[in-house]
Structure 1
Amino acid sequence: MSTELDRLTARARVHAALGDPSRLAIVDTLTLGDASPGEVGAALGLPTNLVAHHLKVLTDAGLVIRGRSEGDRRRTYLRLVPETLAAIATPALPAPERVVFVCTHNSARSQLAAALWGRRSRIPTASAGTEPARRVHPRAVRVAKAHGLRIDPRATAHVSDVVRADDLVIAVCDNAHEHLTGDAGRRLHWSVPDPAPADTDEAFEAAFTQIAARIDRLAPVLDHTTPHTEDGRHHD
């Protein structure tokens, strides 16, 4: 618990450091290349005393480090620490053995999510429903095919037959989220509107787009923390 609190405190410090427009501008300036304090001040039109103040805040937050010039040893250059910046964007999650997407009928959203996940991540995936239908919705199959993905129209399943204790379960609908039981710490909820009532290709495409955007945010985070064997392969 103390480790998690320390992590939150560090992230809050970074957020606070970036809360000033001038400091944010300094970070933007250093994103693409290093610069001396004087060069930063000249680029942003800031006086020396303000540059010194802002750099101290950024340095204390771990966002910027200084290095001595290998040429003129009297000069220092500032370098952005991208790892610190990245740490505030997404909270750390333990790497799961598998990601399971769940919706009510396992006929559209969870199927699309699992198909997309299989393309975007090396972590194994599955899908299930709290009240599975007999078949996958034809429009879900069609939208998946339009994006180069394949869904077996007969492959629906109940959560009790699919979900294991070490899975990360992602409920892609509100009803499923509200009916799921088990360890809440191993679950996420994506409130994706059900496209079935509208029953149009546009509604299913909208669900696909929203799920794809969420997967694009989550997959790199989990893939980054996934354990590998010594030869670099993922543990299945």
Structure 2
Amino acid sequence: MSTDRTDLERRARLHAALADAARLRIVDVLSLGDASPSELAEILTAPSNLVAHHLGVLEREGIISRRRSEADRRRNYVRLVPGALDGIAPRDQRAVTRVVFVCTRNSARSHLAAALWRRASTVPATSAGTHPAEAIHPVALEVARRHRLDLPRVAPQHVDGMLGAGDLVISVCDRAHEELTTPIDIHWSVPDPVPAGNAKAFDDALEDLSHRVAALAPRLTHTP
């Protein structure tokens, strides 16, 4: 996925502004509420001139703003600018026809990923395997039921011949990633829960996939 250079430069400046333990601590404090520079100096146990420097860096990048106290007009309060850090992650979007999750057996990870995706996005999703099993793993079905995921009891399918123009292909296992000849757009190295076969292994895989789906879903839009 491409990223506009201007956006990259803006994000680089935000990262640079936060690339100091004291400034990061200031942001952590302000995430809970406003504070005066003197209060921040006390929290950081730092001299006022150093705190003023850090606040100047954060203010220059639009991360904080200041407001004069309505009581003691000599005092200022510092606050985080709403949404200032929302753009620190990539914001570029890609239009796709469908998301296709691929693993080896199409019996666990790829189905769980597709189920999570259907909950998070309106972009259609399906799954496939390079060596499909006969059925979805029963623990995968149980984990999906427990987490109220829509995972229908469908037969695993082979990836060959099912991909179309506009599909975004995501491999969710290393073996599929390394043996697929079809171009893969994104790879998620998610450990296979099947060898362990217990609920914890499947829960761990689901949690891993859930974080990845949540991060990617806002960056994809649907094109028919």
TM-score, structure 2 normalization: 0.80
Deviation sequence 1:85-127 (CA, Å, 0-9, x none) = 2333x32341444322111221111011111222233332211
203, 206, 217: which one pairs with 1:205?
A: 203
**SS state of the match for residue 152, structure 1?**
coil
Report the secondary structure of 2:197's partner residue. coil
Partner residue, 1:159: 159
SS of residue in 1 equivalent to 2:170: strand
Q: Does the CA-based 8 Å contact 2:134-2:156 persist in structure 1?
A: yes
Residue 190 (structure 2) aligns with: 192
- Cα pair 2:4 2:92 within 8 Å, conserved: no
Inter-partner Cα distance in structure 1 for 2:177 and 2:159:
12
Counterpart Cα distance in 1 of 2:164 and 2:131:
18
Classify the secondary structure of the residue corresponding to 2:119: helix
Q: Which residue of 2 aligns with 1:92?
A: 91
Q: Answer whether contact 1:103 1:129 (CA < 8 A) is retained.
A: yes
Q: Which has the higher contact order (CA 8 A, sep 6+)?
A: 2
**Structure having the larger proportion of residues in helix:** 1
| Distance (Å, rounded) in 2 between the aligned partners of 1:196 and 1:113 | 15
Determine helix, strand or coil for the equivalent of 2:208: helix
Kindly provide the CA deviation profile for residues 172-196 of structure 1, in whole angstroms up to 9, marking residues without a partner as x: 1012222345555xx2211112223
| Secondary structure of the structure 2 residue equivalent to 1:122 | coil
Q: Which runs of 5+ in 1 are unaligned?
A: 228-234
Distance 1:202 1:40 in 2: 43
The match for 1:59 is 59
Going from structure 1 to structure 2, the CA distance change for 1:203 and 1:69 (only over 3 Å counts) comes to closer
Identity rate, percent: 53
Q: Is the 8 A contact 1:141 1:150 kept in 2?
A: no
Q: Which residue identity lines up with residue 35 of structure 2 in the other structure?
A: A
Tell me how large the CA RMSD over aligned residues is.
3.1
**Structure 1 pair 196/21, CA: closer, same or farther in 2 (3 Å)?**
closer
Amino acid of the residue matched to residue 99 of structure 2? V
What is the alpha-carbon distance in structure 1 between the residues aligned to residue 32 and residue 198 of structure 2?
44
Unaligned runs of 5+ in 2: none
Structure 1 runs, 4 residues or longer, greater than 4 Å off? 67-76, 181-184
- C-alpha distance in 1 between matches for 2:201 and 2:39: 51
- How many matched pairs? 222
Write the letter of the residue equivalent to 1:165.
A
CA distance in structure 2 between the partners assigned to 1:182 and 1:81 by the alignment: 45
Query: TM-score, normalized by length of structure 1?
Result: 0.76
